[in-house]
A and B are shown apart, each in its own frame.
Chain A
């Protein structure tokens, strides 16, 4: 399967990239690692007239400690995040989530920025043009039907990135550069929770940096991923938990889920349930139930929605117990 035709732009600096985006007419698409976009272009899910390849913008690559915490360039490969000593020590839930992405070779290519901006996925959507024609297309691309929520007018394709739930529990912020201004938003405010629009990023904007605050530095955490294969797969459900403990008592805690809704979502009510308490099996069950209640899976993947929701409950519970029990800091 060939790729659609496009003009290729290869900026060397962020300024150049942003001005290229501003000048370009027609449908423009930014590409970083390409691990999701290139196959999707083969399937004609994207057919930009201009492709702006960011791989040459080296200033957007790298991990730096700063006064406010940690700064990660959006083009930093997931493999680098996985093996970075600072992240492993200070923000372990992110290292674990990065490690869970796809496979080693794909982690060498895929970037943190790309993982945050990942397109939503659905078995009725991530198919070839010929396949989608045979199902009458869908609301997300080329059609007006939703096959998983018949009669619905919204897209329920799921966000299936592994690192965003980890970033959410770490209270990450992101920086977005446009031609006129640079803005900074909480990651939690970035997503729309709609499968088609998915995120608040203009087509002329670039996600440039990820900031991890000092406030969550040193939080213990874990990421659990439901997958059939031990490698390669996108998550069928995922949960990240992170918490700070003192003397066996939970001070702060957060949980976020992925691959169940059109956006990665923080699970609300966790802190209220856990703060000031010693973790018990009953509390862990409660947190699991909260995570499951946040999940709205539909038949977007091969495993049934019921099972995926059940698993996010189990995974949240187990992750929490494991994190709370592995020695206090």
Chain B
């Protein structure tokens, strides 16, 4: 199978590499670009551990073909941190127990990041709905809600300080 030479824009950088037409975006990220933050948890597009942002919308990297993502902006968990420091949501997930084993966490980081980009002050229901496409087996989700709320408060405080 002939490989295609493609360019992906990942976390703000253009990366050119050879990619088989049947390569998923998840495999391209993990194997070719060595961005192993996005995880493979299922094989049936149900778990959300591979969630990345494509042009600002959360999508499943395991369900996209890498070659079909040319020309789009891809944000992975590795691109969430701000200036080498933890983003508010990353810090809050640590402090509030939002991450236990951490395997689902990259997917949740993207899901929450997208939520807060689109809606900086979501209601409890909106938070719950935004998280409902990602499975977690450790936390029962309860502490994640606290983390998201803490991150929102931290962002608000940060904005006030500016």
Chain B residues closer than 8 Å to A56, beta-carbon distance: 68
Known: A8-B21, A38-B24. A103 touches B63 (CB 8 A): no
Question: Which residue of the partner chain, among A5, A34, A53, contacts B63 with CB atoms under 8 Å?
Answer: A34
Chain A residues closer than 8 Å to B24, beta-carbon distance: 3, 38
The 0/1 profile, CB within 8 Å of A marked 1, for residues 111-145 of chain B is 10000000000000000011011110000000000
Tally of contacts, chain A with chain B, CB under 8 A: 83
Contact A39 B65 (CB under 8 A): no
Contact A6 B68 (CB under 8 A): no
Name A residues whose Cβ lies closer than 8 Å to a Cβ of B: 1-8, 10, 34-35, 38-39, 42, 51, 53, 55-56, 79, 102-106, 108-109, 126, 128, 230-232
Q: Which of B54-102 contact A (CB under 8 A)?
A: 57-60, 62-65, 67-68
Q: What is the bound-complex CA distance between A35 and B60, given in angstroms? A: 9
Contact A108 B4 (CB under 8 A): no
Q: What is the bound-complex CA distance between A3 and B45, given in angstroms? A: 14
Q: What is the bound-complex CA distance between A109 and B57, given in angstroms? A: 9
Chain A residues closer than 8 Å to B23, beta-carbon distance: 3
Contact A55 B48 (CB under 8 A): no
Enumerate 12 A-B pairs (CB-CB under 8 Å) in ascending A order. Answer: A3-B24, A8-B4, A8-B65, A8-B68, A35-B63, A38-B45, A39-B43, A53-B65, A103-B133, A105-B111, A106-B45, A126-B44
Contact B132 A230 (CB under 8 A): yes
Name B residues whose Cβ lies closer than 8 Å to a Cβ of A: 1, 4, 20-24, 43-46, 48, 51, 57-60, 62-65, 67-68, 111, 129-130, 132-135
Contact A5 B65 (CB under 8 A): no
Chain B residues closer than 8 Å to A231, beta-carbon distance: 132-133
Q: What is the bound-complex CA distance between A126 and B45, given in angstroms? A: 13
Chain B residues closer than 8 Å to A102, beta-carbon distance: 133
Question: Shortest Cβ distance from A233 into chain B, in angstroms?
Answer: 9
Question: Shortest Cβ distance from A265 into chain B, in angstroms?
Answer: 27
Contact A109 B133 (CB under 8 A): no
Chain B residues closer than 8 Å to A4, beta-carbon distance: 22
Q: What is the bound-complex CA distance between A108 and B59, given in angstroms? A: 7
Chain B residues closer than 8 Å to A38, beta-carbon distance: 24, 45, 62-65
Q: What is the bound-complex CA distance between A106 and B46, given in angstroms? A: 9
Known: A39-B63, A104-B132. A2 touches B22 (CB 8 A): yes
Contact B43 A103 (CB under 8 A): no
Contact A39 B44 (CB under 8 A): yes
Chain A residues closer than 8 Å to B134, beta-carbon distance: 105
Q: What is the bound-complex CA distance between A7 and B67, given in angstroms? A: 11
Contact B1 A5 (CB under 8 A): yes
Question: Shortest Cβ distance from A121 into chain B, in angstroms?
Answer: 11
Chain A residues closer than 8 Å to B68, beta-carbon distance: 8, 10, 53, 55-56
Chain B residues closer than 8 Å to A106, beta-carbon distance: 45, 60, 133
Q: What is the bound-complex CA distance between A103 and B134, given in angstroms? A: 8
Q: What is the bound-complex CA distance between A55 and B132, given in angstroms? A: 25
Q: What is the bound-complex CA distance between A35 and B67, given in angstroms? A: 16
Chain B residues closer than 8 Å to A232, beta-carbon distance: 46, 132-133, 135
Known: A35-B45, A105-B51. A6 touches B133 (CB 8 A): no
Question: Shortest Cβ distance from A283 into chain B, in angstroms?
Answer: 34
Contact B22 A3 (CB under 8 A): yes
Q: What is the bound-complex CA distance between A3 and B28, given in angstroms? A: 13
Known: A35-B63, A38-B63, A108-B59. A6 touches B21 (CB 8 A): yes
Question: Which residue of the partner chain, among A8, A39, A51, A79, contacts B45 with CB atoms under 8 Å?
Answer: A39
